[in-house]
Amino acid sequence: MLTTLHTAYTDTRADDLAWALGREPLPALAVLDLELSGSKLQLRLLGASHQVLLEEDEGSCSETVACMPGSSTPLPLGVAKRLGDWEYEFAARVETLSQGSFAGRAQELLALVADHPNGLAGTFPGSPHAFTAMMAQRLDGQVRWRTWHAYPQEGRLVVTRTRVGALSHNARPERSVERAAL
């Protein structure tokens, strides 16, 4: 699903993105509710990026990647945590592209997500390549999602991927690898 987000494009620097687990639902500009083999997933486009809410019988998870005033947790390159009976893994990277490459990549990603049944993308007024996009799936008993946050004025694309699933028998105790990506 592709939508135009009716808000000012104020989330304009990739360096301002922060990551958080466990936040309450924030006001959303667009929402896609999904049922993925017993998992309820809500993809939420915010005025300042994205939030994903996951609910299963075993528990719930809330991931937020956004420009959050007062947040002191920068966007990490990677996180691996134990959340109750789940393993949570998050990874982020920043792509820096030329203006021409950026426009092509933006069009490619928007087309991919807009046509996907579990995809949600929102474009911001003022730039055809300013967008946030999300896509989810259930694979091998895990819920996975990917996101793309476009900053055309910088030529930067922030790409994240998340995997949440039941603990494996060989799971280690909680571990966390958090490094500032930006």
What percentage of residues in the chain have a pLDDT greater than 90? 54
Label residue 12 by pLDDT band (50, 70, 90). low
Model confidence pLDDT, tens digit, residues 71-123: 666 789 999 999 888 899 999 999 999 988 999 999 999 999 998 999 999 98
Label residue 62 by pLDDT band (50, 70, 90). very high
Residue in this structure with the two tokens 């494009």, named with its chain if needed: 9
CA–CA distance, 149 with 14 (Å, rounded to integer) = 8
Residue in this structure with the two tokens 């939420």, named with its chain if needed: 44
CA–CA distance, 182 with 180 (Å, rounded to integer) = 6
Label residue 143 by pLDDT band (50, 70, 90). very high
Inter-residue contact 43 to 29 (CB < 8 Å): no
Residue in this structure with the two tokens 């000012």, named with its chain if needed: 8
Please give the pLDDT value at position 11.
55
- CA dist list (Å): 88 to 52, 121, 165, 176: 13, 24, 7, 10
Grouping H, G, I as helix, E, B as strand and the rest as coil, residue 72 is coil
Report the predicted TM-score, pTM, of the whole model to 2 decimal places.
Answer: 0.86
